[in-house]
């Protein structure tokens, strides 16, 4: 558990002014330093992009401040917190100066380390109730930095975001009721490849910045040159940038002094409201964040009044992560779209010096789209305005964007002729399916359109296959699927799926193991353990004499996240477009479920003569969706190879993350045409491979994807060999999936 505090003297830090590029990142950090009410910064980016370096460098720019001597909560002598647990502090209490602190919250931090808890040692040894402050108290008037915030347990993220929003930390636990000031600059960094934050938590961060390594050669060379110079001579490198650091710190102090006096006109408030309404953001937090960030930007630029340019900068940083309506939506903001919204806002507001709508008694009460109204259709290039409809974000409907025009065919798909796979249809019993099987078919992103159309690849096949848009899968993955769990009791990887022993959750039983944490103490069991020994210990008064070996730990049971490994049959027997629509939709529904339950996911596919790991286990469920959208199908069915590949992946992951139990979801029709060894029986080999998964203690769910009039029923014995569950696509959900499968069958019969 590490708490890093920026000292007055110590190892040199890489200067903030020496960071190459990343203008948005540096600006977002500075705006929060100018006005802490902005609400913090979430820095999203790939690994190795100086995210942590920039955050740590910022702390050195923050001005030092006066603190009450011996106050663990950093109260200001000029205005001490009246409810400070170490107070009340008298007026004129002795104080001293200390630099702004940089407090780092580790990923493995516990709740009592974050918010503080009862000091158990003092409670037992001295018989008095004492509060031990946590990291939120240490971060007061400084910077709280959370690296890999997306890997932090959700309830901890909730706690620190609540404290950041209110400026206070409230602690109600272990018989302790404490409230103390906790105003800090919150900075979280994350790598999206390792998983996303929930949209509710994303919204709590004021600003967000996407950071990527530059692809410009000169920029990359300069980054390397500066880093090597710093490592070779840290003191000399810091001295080289000292004038820039001093100037930036002085400018920051001036902006902090100016920001409260920045004038915010009603016109700019209307501009902000119009833009937020145009982008259809939820709630009012975006309006407040943009207003505060724009005021901070005006102060940083030395202005005494907010302008449209300030609003543009603030909106560009505050809106990207608030536009997501679905976990699979990519965060981001098109600058051209923002420019259009601001231009429309300017038109709506009218001339700056002219009368406003409220000043003209004859003004039309409904002049057009207002801050709370949907946008009116905009004219197209020919001035007709035809073909465009508002979609809540200033864009157009999918039909208007689709260059292929309205979708046709069953289920909103235009049919494209397929060809038999090079390796055969793999025993498909339905002639219609056999003719639709295409070697190398790749299903494009099912989430792209509500209704899709077949697309012929430019320049011919080229060996890559024909792209098929899976139209119905887009709405299908929004369905609620059945919840699958791993039997037994797990070790407690953070999540919401299977039962597990956790640090949070309900108390189920006492344990004989001792504890020094008040949060882990099972009080009734501790009293029962100490009670028989009171006479022997010489008890004479009303108190209870407790020793360390009397302490009993409370075992808690909650929910854990699992590794959900999808094993998808992509062979010719599964490659009929209509059936792959249902299968893709089922996997997308399960992916959404995995996202909500904070699982890691992986994807193994098997086709032709081999299996491949299409996606190594990751917490980034949207990445899994993207890989699924590029799934190639066709060829024979190496079912045994797919199961053996899954077993190898799970074995490697077990060594890397032993606390996370696996759940295998196998989507197949049970057919097998490629044996695991020369001369073997493909079906028998697949069942032996399934039995090996069962022997490893892996829970398997077999989703029977068999369709057609003639059914072989091969998935049931496969599920029995794996000792797992067998479900059909119809049973996966009670509504959308079943409706889709029935619609597919009806269309085929017609």
Pairwise CA distance, residues 373 & 405, whole Å: 29
Pairwise CA distance, residues 476 & 735, whole Å: 9
Pairwise CA distance, residues 586 & 667, whole Å: 9
Q: Number of helices and strands (H, E) in the chain?
A: 25, 23
Residue in this structure with the two tokens 């797919």, named with its chain if needed: 642
Residues 6+ apart with CB under 8 A from 296: 31, 32, 34, 35, 38, 255, 259
Please pick, among 285, 592, 636, 687, the residue that the annotation labels catalytic: 285
Residue in this structure with the two tokens 């002219």, named with its chain if needed: 354
Strand bridging mode 65-68 / 41-45: unpaired
Instruction: Return the half-sphere exposure (C-beta side, CA atoms, 13 A cut-off) of residue 292.
Output: 22
Residue in this structure with the two tokens 């158990």, named with its chain if needed: 120
Q: What is the dihedral of CA 205, 207, 211, 216, to 10 degrees?
A: 180
Residue in this structure with the two tokens 């207002």, named with its chain if needed: 370
Q: 731 — alpha (psi -120 to 50), left (phi > 0) or beta?
A: alpha
Respond yes or no: is residue 285 known to be catalytic: yes
**Both tokens of residue 718?**
């496969």
Are 39 and 28 spatial neighbours (Cβ–Cβ below 8 Å)? Answer: no
**Both tokens of residue 325?**
């309506």
Strand bridging mode 662-668 / 699-704: parallel
Are 140 and 181 spatial neighbours (Cβ–Cβ below 8 Å)? Answer: yes
Residue 71's nearest CA partner among 133, 159, 121 is 133
- Residue 559, strand partner residues: 499
**Both tokens of residue 723?**
């000792």
Pairwise CA distance, residues 150 & 129, whole Å: 35
The full 3-state SS of 544-570, as one line of letters, equals CCCCHHHCCEEEEEEEECCEEEEEEEC
**Both tokens of residue 10?**
């110590």
CB atoms within 10 A of CB 309: 14
DSSP 8-state symbol, 700: E
Q: What does R_g of the chain's alpha carbons equal in angstroms?
A: 31
Pairwise CA distance, residues 205 & 138, whole Å: 20
Are 550 and 529 spatial neighbours (Cβ–Cβ below 8 Å)? Answer: yes
The full 3-state SS of 416-441, as one line of letters, equals CCCCCCCCCCCCCCCHHHHHHCCCCE
DSSP 8-state symbol, 99: P
Residues 6+ apart with CB under 8 A from 702: 666, 668, 670, 715, 718, 719, 722, 724, 725, 726, 727
Pairwise CA distance, residues 124 & 130, whole Å: 11
Sign of CA dihedral 546, 549, 555, 560: positive
CB atoms within 10 A of CB 216: 10
- Look at residue 524 and give its three-state secondary structure: helix
DSSP 8-state symbol, 286: H
- DSSP characters for 335-349? HHHHHHHHHHHHHHH
Across 156-231, where does the E strand assignment appear? 168-173, 176-181, 185-190, 207-211
| Helix, strand, coil % over all residues of the chain, rounded to 5 | 40, 15, 45
Catalytic site residues?
Answer: 285
């Amino acid at each position: 558990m590490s708490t890093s505090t920026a000292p007055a003297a110590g190892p040199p830090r890489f200067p903030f002014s020496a960071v190459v590029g990343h203008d948005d990142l540096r600006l977002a950090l500075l705006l929060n330093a100018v006005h802490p009410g902005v609400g913090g910064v979430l820095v999203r980016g790939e690994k190795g992009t100086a995210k942590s370096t920039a955050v740590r460098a910022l702390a050195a720019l923050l001005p030092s401040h006066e603190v009450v001597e011996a106050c663990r909560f950093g109260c200001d002598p000029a205005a001490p917190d009246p409810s400070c647990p170490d107070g009340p502090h008298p007026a004129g209490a002795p104080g001293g100066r200390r630099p702004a602190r940089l407090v780092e919250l580790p990923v493995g931090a516990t709740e009592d380390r974050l918010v503080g808890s009862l000091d158990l040692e003092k409670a037992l040894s001295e018989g008095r109730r004492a509060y031990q402050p946590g990291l939120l108290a240490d971060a007061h008037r400084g910077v709280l930095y959370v690296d890999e915030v997306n890997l932090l347990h959700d309830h901890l993220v909730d706690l620190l975001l609540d404290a950041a929003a209110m400026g206070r930390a409230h602690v109600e636990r272990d018989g302790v009721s404490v409230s103390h000031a906790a105003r800090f600059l919150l900075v979280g960094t994350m790598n999206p490849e390792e998983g996303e934050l929930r949209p509710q938590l994303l919204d709590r961060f004021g600003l967000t910045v996407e950071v990527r390594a530059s692809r410009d050669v000169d920029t990359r060379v300069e980054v390397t040159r500066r880093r090597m110079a710093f490592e070779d001579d840290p003191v000399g490198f810091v001295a080289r940038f000292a004038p820039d650091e001093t100037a930036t710190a002085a400018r920051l102090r001036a902006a902090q002094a100016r920001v409260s006096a920045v004038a915010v006109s009603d016109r700019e408030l209307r501009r902000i409201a119009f833009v937020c309404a145009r982008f259809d953001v939820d709630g009012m937090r975006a309006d407040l964040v943009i207003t505060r960030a724009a005021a901070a930007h005006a102060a940083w630029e030395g202005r005494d009044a907010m302008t449209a340019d300030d609003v543009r900068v603030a909106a560009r940083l505050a809106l990207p992560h608030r536009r997501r309506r679905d976990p699979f939506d990519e965060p981001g903001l098109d600058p051209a779209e923002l420019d259009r919204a601001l231009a429309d806002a300017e038109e709506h507001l009218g001339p700056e010096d002219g009368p406003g709508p409220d000043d003209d008694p004859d003004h039309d009460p409904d002049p057009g789209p207002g801050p709370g109204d949907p946008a009116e259709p905009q004219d197209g290039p020919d001035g007709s305005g035809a073909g465009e409809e508002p979609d809540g974000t200033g864009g157009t409907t999918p039909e208007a964007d689709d260059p292929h025009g309205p979708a046709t065919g069953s289920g909103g798909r235009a049919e494209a002729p397929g060809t038999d796979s090079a390796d055969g249809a793999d025993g498909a019993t339905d002639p219609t399916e056999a003719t639709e099987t295409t070697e190398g078919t790749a299903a494009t992103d099912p989430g792209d359109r509500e209704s899709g159309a077949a697309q012929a690849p430019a320049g011919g096949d080229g060996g890559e296959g024909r792209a098929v848009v899976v139209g119905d899968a887009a709405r299908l993955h929004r369905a609620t699927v059945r919840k699958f769990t791993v039997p037994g009791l797990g070790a407690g990887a953070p999540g919401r799926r299977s039962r597990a022993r956790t640090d949070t959750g309900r108390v189920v039983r006492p344990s004989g193991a001792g504890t020094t944490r008040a949060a882990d103490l099972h009080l009734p069991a501790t009293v029962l353990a100490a009670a028989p020994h009171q006479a022997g210990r010489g008890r004479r008064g009303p108190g209870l004499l407790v020793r360390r070996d009397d302490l009993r730990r409370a075992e808690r049971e909650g929910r854990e996240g699992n590794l959900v490994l999808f094993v998808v049959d992509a062979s010719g027997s599964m490659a009929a477009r209509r059936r792959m629509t249902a299968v893709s939709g089922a996997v997308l529904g399960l992916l959404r479920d995995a996202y909500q339950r904070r699982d890691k996911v992986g994807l193994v596919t098997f086709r032709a003569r081999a299996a491949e790991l299409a996606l190594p286990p990751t917490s980034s469920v949207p990445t899994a969706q993207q890989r699924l959208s590029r799934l190639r199908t066709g060829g024979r069915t190496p079912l045994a190879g797919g199961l053996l590949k899954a077993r190898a992946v799970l074995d490697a992951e077990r060594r890397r993350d032993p606390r996370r139990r696996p759940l295998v979801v196998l989507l197949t029709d049970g057919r097998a045409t490629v044996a695991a060894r020369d001369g073997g029986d493909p079906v028998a080999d697949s069942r032996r491979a399934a039995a090996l998964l069962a022997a490893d203690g892996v829970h398997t769910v077999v989703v029977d994807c068999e369709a057609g009039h003639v059914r072989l029923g091969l998935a049931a014995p496969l599920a029995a060999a794996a000792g797992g569950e067998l479900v059909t696509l119809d049973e996966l959900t009670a509504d959308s999936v079943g409706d889709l499968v029935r619609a597919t069958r009806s269309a085929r019969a017609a």
